[in-house]
Amino acid sequence: MRQAEFERRYASLWDSFGQWLENRGKRRKKGEPEPEGLSAAQVPGVFRAICSHLALARDRQYSPFLVDHLNRLVLDGHQVFYGASTSWFSAPWRFLAIEFPQTVRAERQLVWLAALLFFGPLIGLTIAIQFFPGLASLLLSPTDMGQMETMYRPEADRLGMRDSSTNVMMFGFYIWNNVRIGFQTFAGGILLGLGSIFFLLFNGLYIGAVLGYLQQIGLGEQIWSFVAAHSGLELLAIVISGAAGLKLGAALLSPGRRSRRLALVENAKVALKLMLGAALMFVAAAIVEAFFSPLNLPDPRPKYAVGIILWVLLLAYFWRAGGPRAAR
């Protein structure tokens, strides 16, 4: 079945379900009649049908805009049917356990693009500096280099710490720095996605310059043992922030059959979910970075082990958490 016929046949059903979702959030005055549309008895069957339509749309490779629209209906419906709870803890738990990983998987194309824009320059420059050391000076000033050599010297009591800094002070600094990077990368998406692309590339290059420079001058063990534990949380949060920004840019560049205003509103709902999850990851990364990563252990292998375990858990979380449907 062609997409046009598919939409013609089922669009009214999708609109009815969307209207039902919208009406659920509106308060009615006492005695006011139920709004017209789907009845309570019809809703479960319609929801199951839309889940089937989403699977068909993906399998037949219909337009990303149609798949995205159906995915939003399914996610919102799932929230209504399976997310209700009187416990104050249920909402954040549901977001972390179900909605956030599901949203990341649903936007996996943008996540992969953001990962390429970020990790490509990071890995490439880290390697390139080992052969061409002068490349580091393109992004790092002599003052930056001197500070880093001091912060990651082998005899330092705590790695990555300035002389006057405490763990708590560094925690505050890392929170501010992580939130700044994440917000810039996300908000840049409003500039047709170009701002997000710029900040992904720039941060990838800058981190690559730091890693490459310290490795090249013989401080590799110190910097790698410092970043190992928190790298998964922080770097993936940057990627997800970038994907959120690209989602905003996509609404303006390619709104499809929607107006740009409607596309931006709909895409912003998804982008904000991504950013909320990324913000929580940034906070978790700052905790690890401030209180565990600075430890200058005689043997760095325990820190490497923690880093590997966190990377595996995070990748498994985004691949499987929130339901049996994994990213394909």
pLDDT in tens, 279-327: 999 999 999 999 999 988 889 999 999 999 999 999 999 998 876 544 4
Stated pTM of the model: 0.74
Report the C-alpha gap between 162 and 165 in whole angstroms. Answer: 5
pLDDT in tens, 130-188: 999 999 999 999 999 999 998 898 888 888 776 556 778 888 888 899 989 999 999 99
Q: What is the CA radius of gyration of the chain?
A: 23
Q: What tokens were used for 161? A: 């710490």
Backbone angles phi, psi at 158, to 5 degrees: -135, 130
pLDDT in tens, 49-63: 999 999 998 888 888
Q: What's the per-residue H, E or C state across 15-78?
A: HHHHHHHHHHCCCCCCCCCCCCCCCCCCHHHHHHHHHHHHHHHHHCCCCHHHHHHHHHHHHHHH
The per-residue pLDDT for 207 is 96
Q: Count Cβ atoms within 10 A of the Cβ of residue 238 and give its class: 0-12 exposed, 13-18 middle, 19 or more buried.
A: buried
pLDDT in tens, 231-256: 999 999 999 999 999 999 999 998 88
**Best-predicted range by mean pLDDT among 94-98, 155-159, 227-231?**
227-231
Domain boundary assignment for the chain: 3-84, 106-320
SS3 of residue 191 by DSSP: coil
